[in-house]
């Protein structure tokens, strides 16, 4: 099966802020550089909705996983409150599949559980433990599917927060020496 991925490059910069989406996908990723206030201003109406977001510094391998009812407002708050990050990944529902507050709470729970289990990033900025909210079966199923897209799109933009690091297996070859 093939997947078509669409990437909007803000300011035509391969390393800059971008929006990533796929055909028939309920999830859209806004991958925003910390210093790109122009991007935030250009897409403020898109970002003023419930979202799962992840503050990242890929170089120091530090992350903060959060959820919000207004992604733009929360990102701007974190600009002064959490100085470690260099980019933020914001996961929003598409026009047909907007997220509820309950769903973003569940996504935060799933993201923290998965990231904590693989231990590829320092998550010490997340000081509160989360619990899954009460959801009906259909809502949980939709959100579980959405989280699969979160993991896929994260990996696509070079973030291995949800990917276990390969373990290095060292083997030793013993050579017998002939007398």
Does pLDDT of 85 surpass 50? yes
Mean pLDDT (whole number) for 166-176: 54
Q: How far is 170 from 146, CA to CA, in rounded Å?
A: 38
pLDDT score recorded for residue 167: 63
Average of per-residue pLDDT across 127-143: 92
- Report yes or no on whether pTM surpasses 0.75: yes
- Is residue 74 predicted with pLDDT exceeding 60? yes
pLDDT of residue 171: 53
């Amino acid at each position: 099966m093939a997947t078509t991925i669409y990437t909007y490059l803000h300011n035509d910069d391969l390393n800059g802020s971008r929006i990533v989406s796929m055909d028939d996908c309920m999830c859209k990723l806004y991958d925003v550089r910390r210093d790109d206030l122009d991007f935030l201003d250009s897409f403020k109406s898109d970002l003023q909705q419930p979202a799962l977001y992840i503050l990242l510094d890929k170089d120091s391998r530090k992350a903060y996983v959060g959820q919000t009812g207004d992604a733009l407002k929360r990102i701007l708050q974190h600009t002064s409150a959490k100085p470690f990050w260099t980019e933020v990944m914001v996961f929003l529902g598409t026009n047909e599949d907007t997220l509820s507050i309950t769903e973003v709470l569940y996504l935060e729970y799933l993201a923290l559980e998965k990231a904590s289990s693989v231990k590829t990033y320092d998550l010490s900025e997340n000081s509160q433990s989360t619990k899954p909210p009460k959801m009906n079966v259909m809502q949980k199923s939709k959100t579980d599917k959405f989280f699969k897209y979160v993991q896929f799109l994260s990996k696509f933009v070079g973030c291995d927060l949800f990917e276990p690091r390969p373990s290095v297996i060292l083997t030793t070859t013993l050579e017998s020496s002939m007398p």
